[in-house]
Chains A and B, each alone.
Chain A
Amino acid sequence: MDLYDLRKDFAESGIMMCFNGPFSHSIIEEIGIALRNHLAAEEIAKAAVLDVFAVYIELAQNVRNYLALREITQSEANSSIITIAHWGDGYTVASGNFILNSDADTLCTRIEEINNLTPEERKRQYREQMRREPAPSALGAGLGFLEIAKRSSAKMVCSVRKIDDIYGFFSLAAFI
Chain B
Amino acid sequence: MDILDIQQTASTPSIRFDPATNTLRLVGESYPENSFDFYAPVISWLTASLQQLSELTLDIAITYMNSSSTKCTLDLMDIMEEAYARGVRTAIVWRYDCENPRSYDLAEDFREEVSFPFDIVALGK
Contact = CB atoms under 8 A, between A and B. Distances in A.
State yes or no: do A and B come from one complex: yes
Interface string A113-136: 000000000010001001100100
Interface residues of A, number: 28
Contact of B10 (A33, A140, A143): A33
Interface in B7-46: 10-11, 31, 33-36
A50 B62 CA distance: 13
Contact of B99 (A46, A51, A141): A46
A144 B102 contact: no
B67 interface: yes
B86 interface: no
B52 interface: no
A141 B100 contact: no
* Main SS at interface, chain A: helix
Interface in B66-87: 66-68, 70-71, 74
B11 A29 contact: yes
B71 A143 contact: yes
B67 A146 contact: yes
Contacts of A146: 67
Contacts of A33: 10
B121 to A, nearest CB: 18
B109 interface: yes
A101 to B, nearest CB: 26
A47 B102 contact: yes
B64 interface: yes
Given A29-B10, A130-B71, A140-B67, 18 more contacts: A25-B11, A29-B31, A32-B10, A33-B10, A46-B97, A46-B100, A47-B101, A54-B66, A58-B67, A61-B66, A130-B74, A134-B71, A141-B67, A141-B71, A143-B70, A143-B71, A147-B66, A151-B102
Interface of B: 10-11, 31, 33-36, 63-64, 66-68, 70-71, 74, 97, 99-102, 109
20 contacts: A29-B11, A32-B10, A32-B31, A47-B99, A47-B101, A50-B100, A50-B102, A54-B64, A57-B66, A58-B67, A134-B36, A140-B35, A140-B68, A141-B35, A141-B67, A141-B70, A143-B68, A143-B71, A144-B67, A147-B67
